[in-house]
Amino acid sequence: MAVLAGEGCTLGYSADGTSYSAIAQVVSIDGPSKVLGEVETTNLGSTTRTYRAGLPESGTMSFQVYYDPATHSTLEDATGEIYLQLTMSDGSSTYSFPCIRTGFSYGGMEVDGNVTADVEVRLTGDIT
């Protein structure tokens, strides 16, 4: 069984989904998540709650960078749809998706700390 290393995974940014630029100084990536909706089908004759699968939702993603205003201001200022591309460390899989930035917060402002930015996005379409 293969185990992929987290080190070496990359994240790219695009305004139009055609040409991606690497996001610099990425520290960690969580997601993207995939969520399958559920629709309750319980009726008055049921003896337990029942469900069926609903529409899938592409979910969310978050990542942290060592903040550099020269390279991360585009993400910080994004107000419309953007595109991200995640490439696994061995290069075997690349995932691209449209999203909107829903959060951008600073951290790491402490003695011996590095200033970071936590970025959160909501996927707005399919992961390809």
In a domain, 103, yes or no: yes
Give the structural domain span for 111: 10-32+60-123
The dihedral sign for the CA sequence 20, 76, 87, 6 = positive
In a domain, 2, yes or no: no
- CATH number, position 98: 2.40.10
- Please give the span between the terminal C-alpha atoms of the chain, in angstroms, as a whole number: 24
- Report the alpha-carbon distance of residue 97 to residue 124 in Å, rounded: 8
In a domain, 51, yes or no: no
In a domain, 23, yes or no: yes
In a domain, 102, yes or no: yes
> Above 80 in pLDDT, residue 2?
no
Residue 93 corresponds to which tokens in the numbers above?
Answer: 């899989």
Average pLDDT of every residue of the chain: 94
- Report the alpha-carbon distance of residue 83 to residue 19 in Å, rounded: 10
What's the rounded mean pLDDT across residues 34-52? 95
The pLDDT > 70 percentage for the chain reads 100
- Report the alpha-carbon distance of residue 97 to residue 33 in Å, rounded: 12
pLDDT of amino acid 66: 97
Query: For residue range 5-25, what is the model confidence (pLDDT) as tens digits?
Result: 889 999 999 999 999 999 999
> Above 80 in pLDDT, residue 101?
yes
In a domain, 66, yes or no: yes
In a domain, 1, yes or no: no
In a domain, 5, yes or no: no
CA distances (Å), origin 70, targets 18, 31, 108, 114: 22, 25, 18, 16
Residue 18 CB coordination number (10 Å): 7
Please count the structural domains in the chain: 1
Residue 61 corresponds to which tokens in the numbers above?
Answer: 């993603």
Query: For residue range 74-84, what is the model confidence (pLDDT) as tens digits?
Result: 999 999 999 99
